Structure 1
Amino acid sequence: MAFSPLRFSVRRRLPELVAPSSPTPRELKRLSDIDDQEGLRFQIPVIQFYRHDPAMAGRNPAAVVRDALARALVFYYPFAGRLREGPCKKLLVDCTGEGVLFIEAEADVKLEDFGDALQPPFPCLEELLFDVEGASAVLNAPLLLIQVTLLRCGGFIFALRLNHTMSDAPGLVQLMTAVGELARGLPSPSVVPVWRRELLEAHPSPAPSFPHREYEQVPDTAGTIIPLDDMAHRSFFFGPREISTLRSRLPPQLRRSSSTFDILTACLWRSRTVALQPSDPNENFRIICIVNTRGRFNPPLPSGFYGNAFAFPVAVATAGELCSRPLAYAVELVKRAKSQVSGDYLRSVADYMVKNGRPHFTVVRTYVVSDVTRAGFGDVDFGWGKAVYGGPAKGGVGAIPGVASFFVPFVNASGEKGIVVPVCLPPPAMRRFAVEIQSLLTAQHGLDEQAVDGDNNNHKDQQTPFLLSHI
């Protein structure tokens, strides 16, 4: 299928620092031992698309957001500071009140030009979320970068880049919701932000109480680290029909007890491993499921807590087992990995971090999935209604684009609700991945690659051409 990417020009004003609108405390605040692990020391991009609203005629979305952001930073003042690193790689927020980076821009394109199915990868993302020189560092740099791009139709795009050590998806949505509430005229956020990062610090004498294979240091003996210089980016849609088909492949008891997350994660893990064509069937492949632990503490974490509060539980299988055994095998492994996560598990992670130098999670032969379907990105309202699309701007984790995928809520052009999953792989592996997914969703197996991917000449930044997606 031929593909003509959308191209447009963006005119940006000079970046500015938006500081809290009134004085805030000047202090040092420690991040938790979950926040400052190596695997979260990167910038994560989020993007929101908003339609024109005639009721907001005459109001500049960039000015509205900028003003509300300044007022929100009074409540969330650590975001206006800068990260410093103390002894033993401990991260602290120096609450300087300097502010966050903000860019106002205009694009010569209309929202409808993006098509009926807004999904990653987004065209000209680097223009919609401009990388200001010096702003990408983890330390001593702004903790948020926001760009509001006005469109010719009167709609706009809100793009944000977050230093992930500060917040996870629920914490970020809490901040964005606060900006939206203040933009709509509320005097203060409906949820009072709570710092309390000490709740997720290690014990005085750290002693991990769980094994943590998600942080094993694994040599790349088989050369399976994914190359970063030539990657294909595509999104795959899974609606009720696709999920039902995958569920039907499971034994009755597993069919009833497995969530959509379990089934879809197992399907993606297995298909991705097949697509990578591992040379050694005895090599271990991993799936890391990001699990929110907010409701798994006793007592629960306080309402308004906006730090990182998730775990990286891992399932491990050899390539041979994963590729040759039925989907049920991978589903069982995913369910078992998730079931071990509790408040005690996360505190064990904190102990492990301090005891082992805050290591990065395992990357070699690892795939990470994160479900943000209920995070609420699309519900953020700055006065123009809910977002047409709201969520991660692309797949990947930091500088490792092939490692992670997000599950994002999505409505396709036919009005069907489902989940869209951005995937990033080398082009040959992406073609094999598409074939494998298609085979799991049809009665036929081993479909010819050309039937799934008719254009082998341009593999970068294409929408998946499956008929299964209808997008």
Structure 2
Amino acid sequence: MTRGQEAAMAGVAVLGVKRGEPTLVSPASETKSGLYYLSNLDQNIAVIVQTVYFFPVAAAGAGAGVDIGAGEVLRESLSRVLVHYYPLAGRLAVGEEGKLIVDCTGEGAVFVDAVAGCELADVGGDVTGTDSGVLGELVYTVTKFKCGGFVLGLAMNHCMFDGVAAMQFVSSWAEITRSPSPSPPLSLPPSLDRSVLRPRHPPLIQFPHHEFAQIDDDSSPFFSGAGDPILHRSFHFTPNSISRIKSLVSGDELGEFGDRRPTTFEALAGFVWSARTAAVGIPAASTTKLLFAVDGRPRFTSPPLPEGYSGNAIVLTSAACAADELTSSLSRAAAMVRAAAEKVDDAYMRSAVDYIEAAAAATGGRPRRPSLASTLLITAWSRLPFAAADFGWGPPSAYGPAALPEREVALFLSAGGGGVRVLLGLPAAAMAEFELLVDEVIVD
């Protein structure tokens, strides 16, 4: 057992993190005040997303922050980037319509310096395989380790950013940190006006939006929250393993996928959905549903979104069928993933915006969130540019989520070299079954 694994098993006490007093980092200069509009695509995804970025001793000993410390450098540059991203210095509130808004008070973002009583290597090199209780101690902080390395831990509400916008913010923060100028122009300034995604009046709902539909035959104890505690595991699908899954999709004797070769996402999402459905024991005739996000930036056309749009531009799409229909054919599973993605165009996304508006009006402004009963929600981070988090110490040596926001979520992360790492949580018995199904397709 490695020291990192021992740390993960022992929990947060091994890290010995001592936190300083939380402080508020306000924008370096005066910014706009007042109420800031959040679109309907922001409203229905208000969960906290926690991420960590590891910078080892070799990186921390060079570049910005050598003399005064990484924490102070990042604190100062955060105040400068908040001038460009001033809503982050405000406070979430509920508006007159019952929807979330931001009160741009300029109070600032919470910032904590911390010191760990161990070395960075004790946490482990693969953050996706480290216990969330350990990584959770590193969130909201800049934590310095005995070896001289440090971890930057961030917690952001998803209603402020989707993955693309979040990485644009982190990249902008890093760009400002590296710059010797006190107020450098950003290479990609954020487009903060979210009114471009206001609903139509009256709402025009042109498509069924099954992602919000409740599944009533939810008979697996996993989805009710009953049963054993959830274990989290990370699975590395190499390019060879992904090629094998694609071959299984294309070579399925039912031949439902078609002639066009599956993409990596179609094949892997279909496999993970099918294997997880079997592992958690959804009865054969019961419905299982898949949800995943589609980035609307290249798909909004009338009008297109402005470059650097800094809000949520993702729309959830869905597929559903009987459990035995899904698990009997990998070709069928991948075909449903493709069909769900292909239906998302400008008209569909604007219909989704209007659907959320109509649903909120019917419930006094409360956002209608997609149902997660008997559902797998896949979030794909595999194409996000985490290496852009270069604050002057080079790109992070490791990065990833500190925790999954919901038990129904599976996360796809880039594993380098064309591979994909899949992180998900299941009860022990279901995890053992899922591991067996993964072993059948893993190729060294």
- With the length of structure 1 as denominator, give the TM-score of the two structures: 0.84
Q: CA deviation at 1:63?
A: 0.7
1:285/1:196 CA distance change after superposition, 3 Å: same
Distance 1:152 1:408 in 2: 29
What are the superposed Cα offsets for residues 25-57 of structure 1, whole Å, 9 maximum, x if unpaired? 1111110111112xx122111111112333233
Q: CA deviation at 1:166?
A: 0.8
Map 1:244-259 onto structure 2 (within 5 A). 244-251=243-250, 254=258, 256-259=260-263
Matched, 1:265 2:269: yes
Q: Which moved more, 1:373-382 or 1:77-86?
A: 373-382
Q: CA deviation at 1:19?
A: 0.7
Aligned position for 2:420 = 419
What are the superposed Cα offsets for residues 376-425 of structure 1, whole Å, 9 maximum, x if unpaired? 12321111110112232233x3xx3x2111111124xxxx5521111101
Map 1:86-165 onto structure 2 (within 5 A). 86-122=95-131, 124-129=134-139, 146-165=140-159
Moved over 4 A (4+): 252-256
What are the superposed Cα offsets for residues 196-229 of structure 1, whole Å, 9 maximum, x if unpaired? 2111121110121111000012335425415277
Q: CA deviation at 1:116?
A: 4.0
| 2:355 counterpart letter in structure 1 | Y
Q: CA deviation at 1:254?
A: 4.6
Q: Does the 8 Å CA contact 2:250/2:262 hold for their aligned counterparts?
A: no
1:221/1:270 CA distance change after superposition, 3 Å: closer
Taking only aligned residues, the RMSD between alpha carbons, in angstroms, comes to 2.0
Q: CA deviation at 1:281?
A: 1.6
1:370 match: secondary structure: strand
What are the superposed Cα offsets for residues 323-371 of structure 1, whole Å, 9 maximum, x if unpaired? 2x22111000000000011222221111001111231111100001121
Aligned position for 1:339 = 342
What are structure 2's unaligned runs of at least 5 residues? 9-13, 252-256, 361-366
Matched, 1:367 2:376: yes
Distance 2:224 2:239 in 1: 32
Aligned position for 2:333 = 330
Aligned position for 1:431 = 432
Aligned position for 1:22 = 29
1:255/1:101 CA distance change after superposition, 3 Å: farther
Q: Does the 8 Å CA contact 1:274/1:436 hold for their aligned counterparts?
A: no
Aligned position for 1:169 = 163
1:183/1:122 CA distance change after superposition, 3 Å: farther
Q: Which moved more, 1:115-124 or 1:255-264?
A: 115-124
2:126 match: secondary structure: coil
Aligned position for 1:450 = none
What percentage of aligned pairs have identical amino acids? Answer: 33
* Number of residue equivalences: 415
1:35 match: secondary structure: helix
What are the superposed Cα offsets for residues 428-467 of structure 1, whole Å, 9 maximum, x if unpaired? 111111111112347xxxxxxxxxxxxxxxxxxxxxxxxx
Q: Does the 8 Å CA contact 2:116/2:146 hold for their aligned counterparts?
A: yes
Matched, 1:48 2:50: no
Distance 1:206 1:313 in 2: 19
1:254/1:388 CA distance change after superposition, 3 Å: farther
1:320 match: secondary structure: helix
Aligned position for 2:42 = 35
1:269/1:63 CA distance change after superposition, 3 Å: same
Distance 1:419 1:214 in 2: 25
| 2:156 counterpart letter in structure 1 | L
| 1:84 counterpart letter in structure 2 | A
- With the length of structure 2 as denominator, give the TM-score of the two structures: 0.89
Q: CA deviation at 1:97?
A: 0.2
2:42 match: secondary structure: coil
What are the superposed Cα offsets for residues 172-218 of structure 1, whole Å, 9 maximum, x if unpaired? 11111111111111513221111121111211101211110000123
Aligned position for 1:4 = 6
Aligned position for 2:411 = 406
Q: CA deviation at 1:89?
A: 2.4
2:434 match: secondary structure: helix
Aligned position for 1:132 = none
1:113/1:269 CA distance change after superposition, 3 Å: same
Distance 1:62 1:255 in 2: 54
What are structure 1's unaligned runs of at least 5 residues? 130-145, 443-467
Aligned position for 1:219 = 216
Distance 2:173 2:353 in 1: 31
1:275/1:100 CA distance change after superposition, 3 Å: same
| 2:279 counterpart letter in structure 1 | A
| 2:423 counterpart letter in structure 1 | P
1:290 match: secondary structure: strand
Distance 1:380 1:282 in 2: 46
| 2:209 counterpart letter in structure 1 | H
Q: Does the 8 Å CA contact 1:230/1:427 hold for their aligned counterparts?
A: yes
Between Structure 1 and Structure 2, the one with more helix by share is: 2
Distance 1:424 1:101 in 2: 29
Q: CA deviation at 1:241?
A: 1.2
Q: Does the 8 Å CA contact 1:83/1:93 hold for their aligned counterparts?
A: yes
Q: Does the 8 Å CA contact 2:89/2:105 hold for their aligned counterparts?
A: yes
Aligned position for 1:290 = 293
